[in-house]
Each structure stands twice: as structure tokens, then as C-alpha cells.
Amino acid sequence: MKLAVLEVSPSGPDKYHPELYDFPTYFVTHDNEHPDAISFNRGQNWAYNRNWLANYAVENLNYDYYILIDYDVRLLNDALEKIIIDLDKMKPAVLTGSYIRSGTFSKGIKYESTAFSNNMIKIMHKSALTKCFPLPMWFDGLWDCASHFNIVEWYAFQGSIIKSPYWGFANGESCNNEHNVDGGRGLRAMNKHYDWIKQFITHPLPTVTDLKNYAIQEAKWLPCIKRTETCDYRSEFKLKTMRDEIKKRLDEGE
């Protein structure tokens, strides 16, 4: 199994997860140049940089799984060792762990199907990149794009979005950025995004909060599905039409 790291960073690899850099690491920076960065995207936001990395991976790389991670994520409970075991055993479309807001990590009991997990770190099979990206960037570029990712992921890979009981993660600096401090801004952008994406869902729920709550509850009852088993986007979600619309608008400069 071939594994690589895709990281968004202000200035380059940092102190938070040095253990990951034993794997091939491809990163972009947005505040300062770095000699090893594959691109310096001056002043660009989170969504732009995640899009850039995903596109680079699809066009230039050929790993089985990609760890998409923000620069300030701390991995907990010897996570790297556990991640490798999880991927080999479960073969998910998307793997995540427990987000620890405060306190310490406590090991769970079993693997679980999940939904709407935190986007600080997503471990994705290469086939998932082409369905979840690109992200639309014309709303705000953070909470709305994370919500977009979670919605697409939910419709595309139900049962194969797997939460490991064996590791967790936390973050530091980025929790204080302007989007996270001003929660109202993020929520407004999420709602605008949902009003737009509903056109691609045959039977949408009224609000993104309704969809999130429904998906989280339904996921609890889904068996964990390996990526090699039947796992494709549901017919009521017009994924290709939506992706074509996003690409068109991004090409036009939105």
C-alpha cells in the first residue's frame, strides 16, 4: 500500500506531526515561500489550496491513499501506526479518527460508519479524490467548502466513511483564524452553499443542519463497507452535473 501526505501550510512543514514526513509529502504554502513546496499560492484560502493539491495528485501522482491534512493537526495515540493498520484492514474510501476538542484521547470499541467528520484530516483513497474535488470557492472558502466535502462524501461513500476507534487528532493555531472566531460568518456561507447544492439533490432536506443530523444518525446504523465492495454515489445526487458546474465556474474565475 502506497501512502502520501498532502498538506496546506502557511510557511512549510511544522512541529505538529513530524512523524508523517517519513512518507512522501507534497505541500503548498500561502504566506511564505518554501524551497520544498510544490507551489507557493500567495494569499490563497484553504479551499483553493486543497483543490490545488487534489488536482496535483490526480494528474501527477499514483498513491493508493492520501492523507489530506492541515499544518497544525496533532495526531494522538501513535496514530500513524494505527492508520496503516486501519487502511490495510478496512480498505475504506475515507478514513478518519476522533476529533478531540479538549481533554485526552480515549480508545473506542469498534470501527464505525460515520458522516460529516472534521476536515482537518481526511485519509482518502485515490478514487475518492475525483468525486470529492474540486470544491466550490465562491461562497467563502472554509466552512462552506468543508460542508460541501461532507455532503458529497456522504452521498458518494455511505458506509465506507470509516471512523477508527484507535486514534484521534486535535488542532492548535487554526482554531483561532477569522472563520472559526466568527462562527456566524461560517454558518452564513454554509447556508448559501446549501441553497446552491440543493439543485443537485432530488429530495433535499430543508437545511444543511437537517442533512447533517440525518446523515450522522443514519451512519450509526450502516455497516462498514470496504471500498472494494459496492459503494457508489446515490442516484438522487447528480454528482457529475454538479462537478461539471463547479469546474465551469472555477475556470471562469469564480
What value does the mean pLDDT take over residues 124-152?
Answer: 92
- pLDDT at position 232 is 56
- Domain covering 3-251 assigned CATH 3.90.550 in the classification: yes
Share above pLDDT 70 across residues of the chain, in percent, rounded to a whole number = 91
Q: How far is it, in rounded angstroms, from Cα 166 to Cα 126? A: 23
Side-chain-facing half-sphere of 32: CA atoms under 13 Å: 6
- Per-residue pLDDT band for 248 (boundaries 50, 70, 90) equals very high
pLDDT tens digits for range 77-103: 889 999 999 999 999 999 999 998 876
Indicate whether 172 pLDDT > 90: no
Indicate whether 139 pLDDT > 80: yes
| Residues contacting residue 162 through CB under 8 Å, at least 6 positions apart | 86, 90, 92, 94, 95, 96, 111, 112, 113, 114, 224
Indicate whether 206 pLDDT > 90: yes
Higher-confidence residue of 94 and 184: namely 94
Please, what is the average pLDDT of the chain?
A: 89
Higher-confidence residue of 52 and 184: namely 52
- pLDDT at position 58 is 95
What value does the mean pLDDT take over residues 23-27?
Answer: 95
- pLDDT at position 235 is 66
Indicate whether 3 pLDDT > 70: yes
Q: Which residues pair with 154 in a beta bridge?
A: none
